[in-house]
Structure 1
């Protein structure tokens, strides 16, 4: 039976279903592996890879408890130990620092002294920050702060790392924030953050990415974006029509890795002498990958596919300061909110926008993000759910390095929306944005989405035929690990079957690697597979006697975001579910009259029109056809 429901309540139920199904599938996979080991009866020798890792020496157990209690507890422990006169305490502090870096894949943000509460730091209300209450941490003198910075730097130097001062102030409450970073062993373990860049036409998406990744400021006429275009018609029209990928590398010190032509004013030089991905990857301690999505309405399906298949950690919404949140910007925002992807807003062109117009744009962005119920129309396309769009995000305008540092760690979990005001001509605001991007948690660290200890599952999002190499696929490892020489199955094909193949080589950011793990985006060269036999949405799994089942029909809980009349059985729409993109037909719905309207929630049985696909219970789905939009979750495979 259908019911009227809000998007917020529906998303909460979707998340509950997903969490439950993911836990069930992982428990089932763990039980199957345990059963296989029992059947093989292979003894495990002491010291083998199957042996669980040894606990951290010294302060391991106590540290784990304190870390769960709160990050500031670990910082205070390090601080108190380093200020002690006992050499044993210094050794213990060294162990805690090394352990924290190891668990966080070589990166740790250390806060020294007392720090203001987030509620005050992120607020634009008038008043001195120093006079507010609720500060966290232990007070330090300027001399103690200098001593701690020197001690931490010595520890990092001893273990081969680098200490960078992100923020340091000597006001009434001296405090500092340090970035501790270890060099990655190779490209295969370099942390990566994936960000999808969306926005309306002419909002400044490609220009902003060009300035961020190339370093050279724009001339006000689009010089910075020329190096990003992939096709001749994009250069002629000035509009992005495809899903482009750009990367920005950050070194051990946190400085952006830019080409030597960063300060050139010659467009041809900027385009020709850009830095190769291999060179950036070799120097980077962290990589930020930008998925540059099209802003024009005719390329909406390409933008949708990039958002659903790319598994971005956040969506960067580019808003032109002179135009405001118009056109497809509203569509992109609605999709990001529907998919529960954290949103970051960048207001561009502040150098050419009159102050009154810029103030109006800021007010519009704030009002839209904070409003509990919004209703917008874009050429008749309603971006609402029965007058209840899920926003309720607190906008935080990033105007200081301290705000950028703290916001990067909490904005995704505390329903905050960072807002940056940028000028690609003067460079205003770009330093705060780079600091923010440099400190974002790695995408592969999200254990809810990605699990390295589960069976291999690799989603194919791109296919190429490379001369003298053969068929090459690009995609994301949803779970498990993969190595060069592994025997795998790729499918399903039109009949639901899987083809056997071998991984010849692996590349990550165009640099050769020998292995990859869950959460990483890598390219694989496959043996004896024709390009015509591979399509987007296929998966790679380890070779076994029982390949995963291809599904033709499935059941899902759906919410109709918008439809101008009524949906009936046999209605067809384009379904986006992870890397899967195919037309589906509504076979049945639990409604006595067999119809659905805007805001209705129902259990619907779908059927793929063309061929079966690999999908799993708990996966989110988004279907669209013209102005119609629907959101849901897969609940049962039929």
Structure 2
């Protein structure tokens, strides 16, 4: 019995994956491609950096067989998926099994490409978000008195006086074998830099705030960054609250795939944890999603095989006992960042501004599209409805100097030529090829999520687009008015300043407890 026949008889397990046939026009589109990438990463993790794909074989182990064209196309698709996650095909064998042509493809990880996953954390205050992140990033349990949380209690402006962009609570990563790279001290800039320089994958956690009065900051953290996933925490002692519902609504409104962590399971009896799990399950079903409990690594395989925006994984965790932390590590390693717009001109919305002695003005944010290199020129603005040309001096990511910033990366960029400019959050840094315009009015499709009465012409909520936060007036509404739960088209006008916005951008608007979402449909010049 040949090698392939033996593997097929054993079935899919560990580093072995069966693929019947893969087609470029089907399996290289965004959704299918992400699922296949996560699946490959799981197999590489199981094989300590090596995976074996058997093609021409169905999931149940029956032989389909491939002709030459099908074999080559399937191999080409697998090669493309491998390249995208920093792996490579090292061997391809063709064999005939039961009279049908099949193939064995061996894939190894390689460590020359850093993948960056950005996760936005959300949840009610005191639900253990910072403590959970401390345990994840350091790999060390909390002492029950907030030792793990202490790393993240420092205000960002107190620790971010250098060049780097640390918009996140913390960062950690994974090596080429899929093993976590934990930080002894998350406030140590050198350790952060080592994750970027030595790892094959970095996980950044973006700061959001659990206090209800600071909902604006939470929205900025979720809307203003190019997040890949949301991590919603629900404390086992407190359960689902109105803030939990609010934050889940914001994550889903921005089409973010979401993971739920039930925290503080060490503080309550199992019956209470079960009750909170049931509360969370009901909430997820109520918003039209499918809850899925993750109890072991096999459940993670199910999640990545069916990776989509419908399934919401739920994991029980404790920063004290470390329950659930290894499962979160494995899940974070396997899931794939959302498709970034690496093609096209460079665009970044500014979230924070610093003045660093000896360097000058530094702006930080998440690269939305394209790439930018040191030494290149860019446009900064709008400033009095115009854009100022600046030069990119240096770029850093988590205190690690890089020569290029790409879509989806959180970076700090020092710019030359902006010494006298009043740089503000919400401004854009973009390549000259974008031909940026300043926009005062636009037409959008909107949906009202919550409002006590009807919204009419003249309504003035605060709108959040990327890092822009601006009072905006509804100058015209199709059908004259709109109420909660309805969808319509409206014309909106920024009340004070013009901004750089474009067709297709999503936004959230709010005023008191009234909230809605929208998508820019047309720019009014």
Q: What interval of TM-score do these two structures reach, taking the shorter chain for normalisation? A: 0.7 to 0.9
SS in 1 for 2:265: coil
Listed one character per residue, the Cα deviations across residues 338-385 of structure 1 (whole Å, up to 9, x for unaligned) are: 2221111100111221122111111111111113xxxxxxxxxxxxxx
SS for the counterpart of 1:498 is strand
Tell me what 2:110 maps to.
182
Q: Partners of 2:78 and 2:258 in 1: how far apart?
A: 33
Q: Which has the larger share of helix?
A: 1
Distance 1:78 1:275 in 2: 47
Corresponding residue SS for 1:368:
helix
* Structure 1 equivalent of residue 256 of structure 2: 341
Query: Offset at 1:303?
Result: 0.4
Which residue of structure 2 lines up, in the alignment, with residue 579 of structure 1?
Answer: 467
Instruction: Indicate conservation of the 8 Å contact 1:349/1:424, yes or no.
Output: yes
Rounded to whole Å, the distance in 2 between the matches of 1:434 and 1:333 is 22
Aligned residues: 459
Contact 1:465 1:531 in 2 (8 A): no
- Report the CA distance between 1:315 and its aligned residue: 0.8
Which residue is equivalent to 1:456? Answer: 346
> TM-score by structure 2 length?
0.79
Aligned equivalent of 2:209, options 272, 290, 294: 294
Matched, 1:104 2:84: yes
- Map of 1:399 onto structure 2: 295
> Is 1:542 the counterpart of 2:431 in the alignment?
yes
Q: Find 1:484's aligned residue among 362, 374, 377.
A: 374
Structure 2 CA distance, aligned partners of 1:271 and 1:416? 31
The structure number with the bigger radius of gyration is: 1
SS of the aligned residue for 1:500 comes to strand
Q: Kindly tell me: are residues 506 and 233 of structure 1, through their superposed partners in 2, closer, same or farther at Cα, counting changes over 3 Å?
A: closer
**1:58-69 to 2 correspondence within 5 Å?**
64=24
Structure 2 unaligned blocks of 5 or more? 1-20, 41-51, 59-71, 91-96, 99-103, 159-165
Correspondence for 1:500: 389
> Is 1:280 the equivalent of 2:204?
no
* Structure 2 SS opposite 1:529: coil
* Contact in 1 for aligned 2:190/2:399 (Cα 8 Å): no
Describe the superposition over 1:596-636 as per-residue Cα deviations: whole angstroms up to 9, x where unpaired: 32223322111111210111111112100111111111111
Q: TM-score, normalised by structure 1?
A: 0.66
**Residue 100 of structure 1, CA deviation:** 4.5
The alignment yields a C-alpha RMSD, in angstroms, of 3.5
Counterparts of 2:504 and 2:157, CA distance in 1: 40
Match of 2:180 in 1: 256
Name stretches of at least 5 consecutive residues in structure 1 with no aligned partner: 1-60, 81-91, 111-137, 140-147, 157-179, 235-241, 262-269, 372-390
Distance 1:271 1:183, change over 3 A: closer
Structure 1: how far apart are the matches of 2:87 and 2:327?
19
User: What residue in structure 2 maps to residue 526 of structure 1?
Assistant: 415
CA contact (8 A) 1:567 1:595 kept: yes
The structural deviation recorded for 1:97 is 10
Change (3 A) 1:561 1:271: closer
Q: Which residue, 325, 332, 336 being the options, matches 1:430?
A: 325
State how far apart, in whole Å, the 1-side matches of 2:493 and 2:317 are.
Answer: 46
Relative to structure 1, the CA distance from residue 109 to residue 306 in structure 2 (aligned partners, 3 Å threshold; closer, same or farther) is farther
> Shift in Å at residue 472 of structure 1?
0.8
Q: Secondary structure at the match of 1:324?
A: coil
Q: Does 1:75 align with 2:86?
A: no
More strand by share: 2
* Equivalent position to 1:318, from 233, 237, 241: 233
Question: In 2, Cα distance between the equivalents of 1:232 and 1:64?
Answer: 44
Distance 1:538 1:460 in 2: 6
